[in-house]
Amino acid sequence: MATVAPTAPKDRQLRARAVKKFRPVAFLTAPISVILLLFVAPLIILVIMSFRFESLYGFQTGWTLDNFRLLFTDPIYRGVAKDTLIIATTAMVCQLLIAFPLSYFIAFKAGRWELPLLLLLVLVDELNPIVRIYAWRMLLGREGLINDFLMWTGIVDAPLDWLLFTKFSVILVLSTSWVNYCALPIYASMKAINPALFEAATDLGAGWFTRWRRVLLPLAAPGIFVAVILVYIPLFTDFATPGLVGGTSSYMLGNSVADLMVTVGDWGGGAALSLLLLGAMAVVAVIAYFLTKLNQLD
The residue extents of the domains of the chain are: 66-297
Query: Is the pLDDT at 250 greater than 90, yes or no?
Result: no
Residue-wise pLDDT for 148-170, tens only, equals 999 999 998 989 999 999 999 99
Percent of the chain with pLDDT over 90: 42
| pLDDT of res. 93 | 94
Confidence of residue 6 (pLDDT cuts 50, 70, 90): low
Query: Is the pLDDT at 63 greater than 80, yes or no?
Result: yes
Indicate the length of the chain as a whole number.
298
Report helix, strand or coil for 158: coil
User: What mean pLDDT is predicted for residues 16-34?
Assistant: 73
Long-range contacts of 52-56 (CB under 8 A, 24+ apart): 52/268, 53/268, 54/266, 54/267, 54/268, 54/271, 55/265, 55/266, 55/267, 55/268, 56/265, 56/266, 56/267
User: What mean pLDDT is predicted for residues 17-32?
Assistant: 72
Compute the CA torsion angle 36, 38, 40, 44 (nearest 10 deg).
Answer: 130
Give the DSSP letter of residue 141.
S
Residue-wise pLDDT for 167-218, tens only, equals 999 999 999 989 999 999 999 999 999 988 888 988 888 888 888 888 898 8
Cα separation, 72 vs 66, whole angstroms = 10
What is the amino acid identity at position 13? Q
Do residues 139 and 145 lie in contact, with contact meaning Cβ atoms separated by under 8 Å?
Answer: yes
What is the amino acid identity at position 285? A
Cα separation, 78 vs 86, whole angstroms = 12
Confidence of residue 40 (pLDDT cuts 50, 70, 90): confident
Confidence of residue 259 (pLDDT cuts 50, 70, 90): very high
The better pLDDT of the pair 199, 29 is held by: 199
Do residues 153 and 170 lie in contact, with contact meaning Cβ atoms separated by under 8 Å?
Answer: no
Query: Is the pLDDT at 84 greater than 80, yes or no?
Result: yes
Average model confidence (pLDDT) for the chain? 86
Going by C-alpha positions, the residue among 273, 279, 189 that lies closest to residue 227 is 189
**CA triple 85-179-286, angle to 5 deg:** 50
User: What mean pLDDT is predicted for residues 63-86?
Assistant: 92
Residue-wise pLDDT for 105-134, tens only, equals 999 998 889 999 999 888 887 788 888 899
Confidence of residue 2 (pLDDT cuts 50, 70, 90): very low
The fold adopted by the segment(s) 66-297 is: MetI-like fold (1.10.3720)
Confidence of residue 283 (pLDDT cuts 50, 70, 90): confident
DSSP assignment of 208-245, as one string? HHHHIIIIIHHHHHHHHHHHIIIIIHHHHH--HHHHHH
Query: Is the pLDDT at 18 greater than 70, yes or no?
Result: no
User: What mean pLDDT is predicted for residues 70-90?
Assistant: 92
- Backbone φ and ψ for 65, nearest 5 degrees, come out as -110, 5
| pLDDT of res. 297 | 47
Confidence of residue 295 (pLDDT cuts 50, 70, 90): low
